[in-house]
Amino acid sequence: MKTVLKRTLYVVVLTLFYFTVWSSVRGWVTTYTVLPQVELAKEYCNKTIYVDQNRPTSTIIHVYNERNEQYDTIYYTTPAGFYLLFGLVFVILFGGAAIYYKVLLGYHLGFWILSIISMMPGFCIHPLFFHVSNLGIIYLTPFVTFLVIIFLMSPKLLTAFKISDQQK
């Protein structure tokens, strides 16, 4: 019973941290990494771009496409959001080993860096670079999160893949 209360307390603290501090951090990173790239692209890549910012962690960017003579819309959502919280809540509640934390946090951090790096080439070289970010946000992030949860909840699957799961 003591373990359940302790894990529940960790989840409550994590959730409060996510909605107060972590959301602000994600918004700050978007403001100081993605939006300056938009300004640089306007100046150095001779692109017509304007930004609609709905929330600090979600940005809608419109880039004028000379070939089609219309604006292409890019939706950028800062990684390490809901799916990170969702995965961490499950890992905490089920008492997962350190490997689960490392996989979740490592993927989200790595993808966050990759999505920021792919913005400038998307503006200046080819819009295909924006698909790196969209692919990760829409498909890979939920996939990795749910895969971690599935491995956490299925010890037989761990042994089938010969993955060691040492409890803390």
pLDDT digits (tens, 9 = 90+) for 117-164: 998 998 888 888 888 888 888 899 999 999 999 988 887 776 777 666
CA dihedral sign of residues 141, 124, 29, 103: positive
Query: Quick check: is 128 in a domain?
Result: yes
Query: Quick check: is 41 in a domain?
Result: yes
pLDDT digits (tens, 9 = 90+) for 80-94: 999 999 999 999 999
Query: Quick check: is 165 in a domain?
Result: no
Q: 64 is in which domain, residue-wise?
A: 2-160
Query: Quick check: is 134 in a domain?
Result: yes
Query: Quick check: is 15 in a domain?
Result: yes
Please compute the mean of the pLDDT values over residues 42-63 and round it to a whole number: 85
When pLDDT is cut at 50, 70 and 90, the band that residue 166 belongs to is low
Query: Quick check: is 12 in a domain?
Result: yes
Instruction: Pick the closest to residue 90 from 15, 166, 165 (CA basis).
Output: 15
Query: Quick check: is 42 in a domain?
Result: yes
Query: Quick check: is 167 in a domain?
Result: no
Q: How far apart are CA 132 and CA 130, in angstroms?
A: 5
pLDDT above 70 as % of the chain: 93
When pLDDT is cut at 50, 70 and 90, the band that residue 47 belongs to is confident
How many folded domains does the chain comprise?
1
What's the pTM value of the predicted model, to 2 decimals?
A: 0.85
Q: Return the CA Rg of the chain.
A: 19
